[in-house]
Amino acid sequence: MFNRNFAALILFFMDRIKVYDKTFVPYIPHDELMGCIDKVAEEINRDYAGAEDVPVVLCILNGSIMFTGELMQRLNFPCQLVSTKMTSYVGTSTTGEVKQTMPLTASLKGRRVIVTEDIVDTGLTLVALKKILEEEGASDVKICTMLFKKDAYRANEKIDYIGKEIPNRFILGFGLDYNELGRNLRDIYVLED
């Protein structure tokens, strides 16, 4: 998929970008994203103030790397970073099937876990992930997402921390991708109508 013509795959225009065959327009600027992360960090810091254990921040790769990195810089209690990789998307659509493509990087037995997601839409990934974390013996699981598509959500899992609710539209940037491109964009873009 990647080749030496990478520069030709993402074309920047004045107010839009083209990735492969899709055109995206600006949607959420970087400063607004930082404000959302500040808000979530304040809530988490309040809830974990005085923690005597070391909670785990579980980064769901690859999409939530940027969000998790920014969030961790704002947390004011000792925490451990653990990762796993879950996939369910191909192109702009969910396959409806969630796979864990990389195992957890540490044991979570008896640990409190804060799951960090870039975006929650249908909730299928959360249902599969909660099952994995129960099997791993996590003592408590909180869900934290940068973005939440409330209209697309079909699961019953509680979302504990939400940076921003957005409509059910396809977006990329700041960790979110379209066929593995666009994650490095500072702002978030939305698929042009």
Q: Count of CB atoms within 10 A of residue 123's CB?
A: 19
Model confidence over 26-55: pLDDT tens digits?
A: 999 999 999 999 999 999 999 999 999 999
Q: Count of CB atoms within 10 A of residue 28's CB?
A: 20
**Does a structural domain hold residue 17?**
no
Per-residue pLDDT band for 1 (boundaries 50, 70, 90) equals: very low
Beta bridge mates, 116: 59, 144
**Does a structural domain hold residue 164?**
yes
**Does a structural domain hold residue 10?**
no
The torsion defined by the Cα of 94, 99, 102 and 106, in degrees rounded to 10, comes to: 110
**Does a structural domain hold residue 145?**
yes
Question: What is the spatial distance between Cα 64 and Cα 183, in angstroms, rounded to a whole number?
Answer: 10
Question: What is the spatial distance between Cα 174 and Cα 151, in angstroms, rounded to a whole number?
Answer: 22
- The alpha carbon of residue 134 and the mean position of all alpha carbons in its chain are separated, in whole angstroms, by 20
Question: What is the spatial distance between Cα 6 and Cα 116, in angstroms, rounded to a whole number?
Answer: 29
Number of compact structural domains in the chain = 1
Q: Specify whether the CB–CB gap between 147 and 174 falls below 8 A.
A: no
**Does a structural domain hold residue 22?**
no
Model confidence over 91-102: pLDDT tens digits?
A: 666 667 888 889
- The CATH number given to whatever domain includes residue 44 is 3.40.50.2020
The single residue of 121, 140, 151, 160 carrying the catalytic annotation is 121
- Region 167-177: mean pLDDT is 96
Q: Specify whether the CB–CB gap between 83 and 116 falls below 8 A.
A: no
Q: Indicate if 15 belongs to the active site.
A: no
Where are the alpha helices (H) located in the chain, listed in sequence order? 6-9, 30-47, 65-74, 124-136
Range of the domain at 127: 27-171+183-191
Model confidence over 174-193: pLDDT tens digits?
A: 999 999 999 999 999 999 98
Output the furthest CA–CA distance in the chain (Å, rounded).
Answer: 51
Cα-based distances in Å from 118 to 4, 34, 39, 133? 28, 13, 15, 18
Instruction: Locate 177 and state its tokens.
Output: 């991708």
Residue with tokens 């490095």: 184
Model confidence over 112-135: pLDDT tens digits?
A: 999 999 999 999 999 999 999 999
Amino acid (one-letter) located at 66:
M
pTM of the model: 0.89
**Does a structural domain hold residue 1?**
no
